[in-house]
């Protein structure tokens, strides 16, 4: 039992144990509310220092309504969050998200939840693990805060974090299209634009992502027919050639060399054949009744 934060936390489940930190699901013995909490106990000295500095100087999790608080117990720094039922987005998205409008709403909620978490870039990357992201029947996003600090990457910049958030949101947006399209470049134009910006550093902030998704039609027009077929095949061939540029170059070079050699061999054969079939008529005046001499 851990007496802290006006609570008496009792462990009811161990989620993770490693040399860096432990993660528990707890209940509060002081308040019989039926609520549960996620408690992260950080024992690694280096990580404990990093997290403490972020809490004190960067106000990490300050804007997060799920963050209950932090306390030290023995040689561990403990972070306490509200725990939510593990209704994982990765498992339930196919059940709850039938229309693209549903996907839009959940993608927007996911980005908003990341913004409201107050986790910053490095902690935010840990938060994006699929085991942390829950979805409700109404399409709301809730985090579990099962943060494995053993997996934390140092010096994660804002661009890397934004791309990871964009990928998570795009994974929701493309649910109704990825099974029927060869590549995201064949998705409806709104999704294709988001995909291209995501992969080319064109998403400058979480607000930018939200603006793009809000601007998407609830029922995107899917390109079909001959034009769509030609365009999809063009993109497929283009991508194949790009991925295999050196192999393609060598193949074209070999084919061109073979064609040139074939043309040269054929030309030489024709010249030789013509030479062998040529008959010299020098000094002969008649062939049959045909006179070959000069006419006077």
- Name the 3-class secondary structure at 172: helix
Mean pLDDT of 148-153: 92
β-bridge partners, 40: 23, 79
Average pLDDT over residues 253-269: 79
Residue 15: exposed, middle, or buried by beta-carbon count in 10 A (0-12, 13-18, 19+)? middle
How confident is the model over 219-230, as pLDDT tens digits? 876 655 555 556
Across the chain, the runs of DSSP E, i.e. the strands, are 2-4, 7-17, 21-28, 36-42, 67-73, 76-82, 133-135, 141-143, 286-287, 290-291
For the chain, give the number of residues: 296
| pLDDT greater than 90 at residue 179 | no
pLDDT at 93: 87
- Taking only the tens place, the pLDDT of each residue in 181-209 is 888 888 888 999 999 999 998 899 999 99
Cβ proximity of 61 and 117 under 8 Å: yes
- Please check the confidence at residue 218 and state whether its pLDDT lies above 80: yes
- Mean pLDDT, residues 111-126 taken together: 93
Rounded Cα distance between 272 and 177, Å, is 63
Residue-wise pLDDT for 227-254, tens only, equals 555 655 665 666 565 656 677 677 787 8
Q: Identify the pLDDT of residue 290.
A: 53
- pTM of the predicted structure, to 2 decimals: 0.73
140 has a pLDDT exceeding 70:
yes
């Amino acid at each position: 039992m851990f007496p802290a934060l006006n609570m008496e936390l009792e462990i009811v489940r161990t989620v993770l144990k490693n040399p860096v930190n432990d993660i528990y699901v707890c209940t509060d013995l002081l308040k019989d509310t039926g609520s549960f909490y996620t408690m992260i106990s950080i024992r690694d000295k280096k990580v404990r220092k990093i997290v403490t500095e972020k809490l004190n100087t960067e106000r990490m999790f300050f804007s997060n309504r799920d963050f209950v608080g932090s306390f030290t117990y023995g040689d561990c720094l403990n972070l306490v969050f509200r725990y939510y039922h593990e209704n994982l987005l990765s498992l339930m998205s196919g059940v709850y998200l039938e229309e693209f409008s549903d996907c839009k709403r959940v993608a927007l909620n996911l980005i908003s939840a990341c913004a409201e978490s107050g986790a910053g870039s490095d902690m935010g990357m840990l938060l994006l693990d699929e085991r942390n992201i829950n979805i409700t029947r109404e399409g709301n996003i809730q985090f579990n805060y099962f943060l494995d600090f053993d997996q934390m990457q140092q010096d994660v910049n804002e661009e890397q974090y934004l791309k990871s958030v964009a990928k998570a949101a795009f994974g929701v947006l493309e649910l109704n299209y990825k099974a029927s399209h060869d590549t995201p470049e064949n998705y409806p134009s709104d999704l294709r634009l988001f995909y291209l910006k995501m992969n080319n550093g064109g998403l400058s902030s979480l607000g930018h992502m939200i603006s793009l998704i809000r601007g998407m039609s609830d029922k995107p027009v899917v390109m079909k027919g001959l034009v769509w077929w030609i365009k999809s095949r063009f993109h497929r061939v283009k991508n194949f050639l790009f991925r295999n540029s050196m192999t393609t170059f060598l193949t074209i070079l070999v084919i061109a060399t073979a064609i040139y050699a074939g043309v040269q061999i054929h030309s030489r054969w024709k010249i030789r054949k013509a030479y062998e079939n040529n008959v010299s008529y020098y000094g002969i005046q008649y062939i049959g009744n045909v006179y070959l001499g000069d006419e006077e």
